Each structure stands twice: as C-alpha cells, then as structure tokens.
Chains A and B, each alone.
Chain A
Amino acid sequence: MSNNNKIEINAISDENPLDYKTLNEVIHRALSQGKTKIVLNNVCGQRFIGASLQGNIELIINGLPGNDLGIFMDGPRIVVNGNCEDQAGNTMNDGTIIIHGDCGDVIGLSARGGKIYVKKDVGYRVGIHIKEYEHKHPVLIIGGTAKDFLGEYMAGGIIIVLGLKINDDGSVEESNHPICGNELGTGIHRGKILLRTDENLEENLGIGAKLFEITESELKQIDPLLDEYCDAFSIPRELIDRKPFKVVKPISKRPFGGNYCGQIV
C-alpha cells in the first residue's frame, strides 16, 4: 500500500472534539478520494466510527472511539490503540476490529460475521446474540476476562476468553480476575464459548448452557484463530497452551421453546 492511499485525520478542531457526524463525513470524503488507510488522531468518544463501511479499508484509531464502533461494518479492518466504549462491532457483517485495550459492555452484539479481538478485559453482555449462517461465523477473542451475561442468547459463532493479563510493556501473566461472571451463555442455542480456565464454572452457567470438555476438532478449529490473535498482540503462542479450555455449548436449539408454546424441547 503506497503512502498516497494513506491519510491522517485530526478529530479535534480548535481544542474541541468534532461531533460524530462531522468526523464520519470527513472519513467518507477521504474514502471517496480513494484513500484506503485512514489514521484518526485524538478521537474522543465520537460514535459510529466506521459505520456501514465496505471493502478493503484500514482505520487506525488513536484515542477513544465512542459507542457503536464499526456498526454494520462489512469488510474493513479497524485497529484501536487504546480503550473502546460500548457496543463495538454492533451487527457487523464482516471485517476485523482489533482493540489494544479494555472494552465496555455489549461488544459484538448481534454480529453476523467478522472478527473482534480485544487485548484486555471486557464488560457485561459481550457477544449477545451473535449468529452464524452458512460460511458466516463471527469470532470474538478476549485476552483478559469478561463479566456477566457473556454470550447471552448466542445463536452461532465462537467466543474465546483467554483470562490473561497482557501488559502494555508486552509482558503477559495470568489474570487474577474471574474468567467470567454469572449467567454465562444464558439462552444460548447455537455456537460455543471457550474459556481458558481451570475454575469450576458450573455455578456460573445460565439457562440452556452446559459445560463440555474441549474436543480435538474444536482445538483444531480455534488453532488458526489463536495464531492470528497472538500475532495481532505479539503474544507467545505457547503461553495459551498452559491452561485447558472449557467449552460452553447449548443443551437445546430452543431453550425457551416451552415457555411460549408448551412443547418440550
């Protein structure tokens, strides 16, 4: 990619952060000029960055993107150098979001495809109702730990939580927070949640979720994803193999079916 295709945008004007509409208009203007790599500096909570963007584009965000980062996105790659607010990857269809920091709540809600890689911890309701269809499999990998309602109403795809503490200086240790909160995978009816832990998670499970040992084919399936994750954050791959994975899968494709039509499912 030549430098001609790259542009830097300052999200501040006269010491005041641009509002989200103006900032997104500036991004769209740059794209219409044929730029494919956009660096956003001094981002301060502007919402909807990268909304509905398509194609082979890269956005580098220095600062703090606001809610709904990459909403409805279909293809681009977003790298956030820092923390991120709530709802990143809302209903994204394809593309990659890499976050070098913490995330807020409800990350990747209703994602239908694409990848979200988070370096540190995430909040509540992460991966709520992510779904898969034919070749579309959304992937969420969280380096740190998650809180309650992880993978709530999950309808497909994979969530992986590693339980690591990846420091800014590059050193990696095991996190001392619990790997996840309560109501783990509540209402899950497709897809799986993999947690790298030896904690007993029986008490954390939500309705319709069950713990399984990891299978050979599942290990094989996540292997390339973990390689890619470790590459993105420069983590030694062998660190991850030091603890086993536990898998949370649905007990039924319709955990609440009986609530509505009286059928036993």
Chain B
Amino acid sequence: MKWKDYTCLPPQFRDQRVFDGCGISGLLNVDGERISGQKVVDMLCILSERENGLGAGYAGYGIYPKYKDYYALHFLFDHQQCKDRVMEYLERGGYIIHSEAIPTKIPAHVDFPPITWRVFYEPRKMKSISPNEEVVQMVMEINSKFEGAFVMSSGKNMGVFKGNGWSHEIAEFYNLKEYKGYMWLAHSRFPTNTPGWWGGAHPFNLLGTSVVHNGEITSYGTNMRYLESFGYKCTLKTDTEVIAYLFDLLIRKHKIPLSIATTALAPPLFSEIEQMEHKYQYVLKNLRATYRSAMLNGPFSIVVGISDPIPTMIGLSDRKKLRPLVAGISEDENTIYLSSEEASFRRLMLDSINGFKFKEIWHPKSGTAVIARVGDGLLKKGLEKPFENVNLSIMGGATI
C-alpha cells in the first residue's frame, strides 16, 4: 500500500477548502507535571464515530525539556532532496542545534512513508526583527515555496504529530505513549468536502499556538484577507488555519488579555449587548468594531494551546452552540479536561488501574471561553457573563 499526500493536497483539490466535523480533546496539568500522551489518545479514540480515518493529530507541550530554549521544528518531507533543501535553507538563517528523525512505527504494508523529522533551531539574531517573527517567516516560506516539505509545528518545547489515518493509527505511528507533556491537544477528522492529506490534519500550529477544531468557519474569506494584511499567508486551504493565526495575532502581537481575545473572536450578539450595562456596551461595541474581521462565524468548537508566556489551554464554542464542548476537572483539581463528548471523560474513569475520578463535569456556555493555565489552575469555567470578574478601566477620555 502506498501512503500519499504528505506535504500538499492532491492537485485536483488545491483550490478548495476543507469543511469538517470532527472529534477534539485536550488536557492540561496545572502543576506542570508531565503525563504520557496515552491519556489523550484514550480520550480521543473513544470518539471514533466522529472520524472517518482521513486525518488525526496530536500536540504535546513540554515534551522536549532538554531543548526547551530552542524552536522545535517538526517536518514532513516527501523525499530526501526536499529535506536537504530545507536544511540548507535553515542553516543560512540560523543554527541547527540538533537534528534527528522523529521515531515512527511504520506499518508493514506501507511502501513509501513520509520522512518525519525534527530540528531544534535557533535563528540568527537580527536587529530589525524578533526571533519569533523570523521563525514565523521561515515557516511561511517553507510551507508556501518549498515543494515536498511541510512544517507541522514550530514552537518551543512542544510538537505536533499528525497524519492521514485513524486516531489510533496516528498515535501508534508516532508512538505517542512514549512522550510526556503537561498539555495535550488531540483531533480526529471527518473531512466532508475534500480528501484528507497529512498537512491538512489538525492540530494547526504556529510557534507556541496550536488549534484543534470541529466545525466550519464560514467567515474564512474575511478572516483570511484580514490576516493577509498582517503578513500571514493562508496556504493550507482550510478554515482552521485562520484560527491559529488569529490567536497568534491577537495574543502574541496585539497582546490582548486572553479572555478579551476570545470575546473578540466569539462576541455576544448586538441584541444581547444592548441589554448590558452601559460601560460593557461601550467596550463590547468597540471590541466588535475593532476586530470586526477577526470574528469567527459559523459552527465551531475549538481547543487552543498556547505556550508563551505561560502554557494555557482554551476551549471555545461558537455563539449559537452548533458544536459540542464539554469540560471536566479531576478530583484532585490538578488536571483540566476538554472534549467533544463526555465519553472521553467516562473512558478515563473506566481505567480501573488508576481509579480515576472527576470532581465536576460541566457544559460551558456558547461563545464563552474555558481557560486553564499552568500554575494558576482553572481561570474561567466558561459559565461567566462577558467581563465577569474583569476589572475594566477605560482610558483616552471616553465618556461612558
């Protein structure tokens, strides 16, 4: 059997984008304790009705403590020549600290598997541009201009493992149970408009931000044009890509507090805003006006992982709750879980060896983010009103 479509879509589908309805899971240990990837694999594989074997992926944070100060670049290559070209390009722009194959268990029936590779990298210091920006530009360059090469992830002390297959196949292929991380995201895919390809599987990543997504972003065109005005290149023809870049833009570049950024992406309806206190009206209307083109429309539920400055996991569903999202907290309150279905949590409880229990399982409100952070624990349960417990001060002489 020949596997294919590692680094780009099959030619006949390159001008379309992918709609999908999928399974997502995530977990974060608030003490920063590293746990085996097997747990998130169990959570995801129970949702097998939500996938059709055309893509699955995992993102692990805290998996490379030895190289935690360097950018961990995960690659897929079609051929050795593609790899050589990319390595040459990387050496021109910085220092390769360590370079090795990502170990895989290749099924016996597969003839030409992709080359899975990781590089721990330090870009050469430049005065005009930050190292983060340099890496972003390199990723955009490789993904758009280097044939036969694809960057799966580019954050520090984290990595994305994805491919075209069932969730359990991909987990076995990358041998995920051997990795330990304090945050894991997982996704199994049910693409409905185009066939799967390896790079098109979730999570989508840029630097420390990874996104897994279930749904369809109908505002893709608007979001894409908005992002392009900030220099992002949407090359993957799929709607989830814009979510990863929007989080990168709002949080890393514009430095907006997380709970405000998630409100900008899924803001309350104007009819709801009209009923609020005047100062909230003022802020929300301004927020909606400023980030009009960043707003995500259409059905979605997402889990987002951010590693910088403090590792954080975010769960968010669309304002009309057209996709499911369930949250849970372990009995010892040190791990927060998110999933498409409660079955993921029940799966962990069936694990008789660990005697696993949940303190609480709840359904977050639509358009309201669940936010959990290493060190701080569960910051938002996703049941709050907009700006609840947020200290608002409005500057600039505005009258409110």
Contact = CB atoms under 8 A, between A and B. Distances in A.
Interface of A: 12, 15, 17, 19-20, 42, 44-45, 47, 63-64, 66-67, 83, 85-86, 102, 104-105, 121, 123-125, 147-149, 182, 203
Interface residues of B, number: 24
A203 B49 CA distance: 39
13 contacts: A12-B350, A19-B48, A44-B343, A45-B342, A45-B346, A64-B343, A85-B342, A102-B361, A105-B324, A147-B365, A148-B320, A148-B321, A182-B272
B350 A42 contact: yes
Contacts of A17: 46, 347, 350
A149 B344 CA distance: 26
A200 to B, nearest CB: 11
Leading 4 A-B pairs by shortest Cβ distance: A45-B343, A124-B321, A64-B346, A44-B346
B79 to A, nearest CB: 39
Contacts of A85: 341-343
Interface of B: 46-49, 272, 275, 320-321, 324, 326, 341-344, 346-347, 350-352, 361-363, 365-366
Given A17-B46, A44-B343, A123-B321, 17 more contacts: A12-B350, A15-B350, A15-B351, A19-B48, A44-B346, A45-B46, A45-B341, A45-B346, A63-B346, A67-B341, A86-B324, A102-B362, A105-B321, A124-B366, A147-B363, A148-B366, A182-B272
B296 to A, nearest CB: 18
B366 A64 contact: no
B346 A123 contact: no
Q: Is the interface of B mostly helix, strand, loop or mixed?
A: loop
Contacts of A203: 275
Contacts of B343: 44-45, 64, 66, 85
Contacts of B363: 102, 104-105, 121, 123, 147
Contacts of B324: 86, 104-105
A155 to B, nearest CB: 21
A236 B176 CA distance: 52
A44 B49 CA distance: 13
Contact of A44 (B275, B326, B347, B365): B347
Q: Is the interface of A mostly helix, strand, loop or mixed?
A: loop
A145 B49 CA distance: 29
A15 B347 CA distance: 10
B215 to A, nearest CB: 14
A125 B323 CA distance: 12
A44 B46 contact: yes
A101 to B, nearest CB: 9
Nearest to B50: A67
Contact of A83 (B46, B320, B351, B361): B361
A49 B363 CA distance: 22
A125 to B, nearest CB: 8
B355 to A, nearest CB: 14
Contacts of A12: 350
Contacts of A105: 321, 324, 363
A64 B326 CA distance: 13
Contacts of A125: 321
A203 B272 CA distance: 9
A12 B320 CA distance: 35
Contacts of A102: 361-363
Nearest to B365: A147
A63 to B, nearest CB: 7
Of the candidates B275, B321, B326, B342, the one having the most CB atoms from chain A within 10 angstroms of its own CB is B342
Contact of B350 (A44, A83, A86): A44
A102 B362 CA distance: 9
Nearest to A63: B346
Contact of A15 (B49, B341, B352): B352
Contacts of B48: 19
Contacts of A42: 350
Nearest to A86: B324
A148 B352 CA distance: 37
A105 B317 CA distance: 13
A36 to B, nearest CB: 27
A148 B320 CA distance: 8
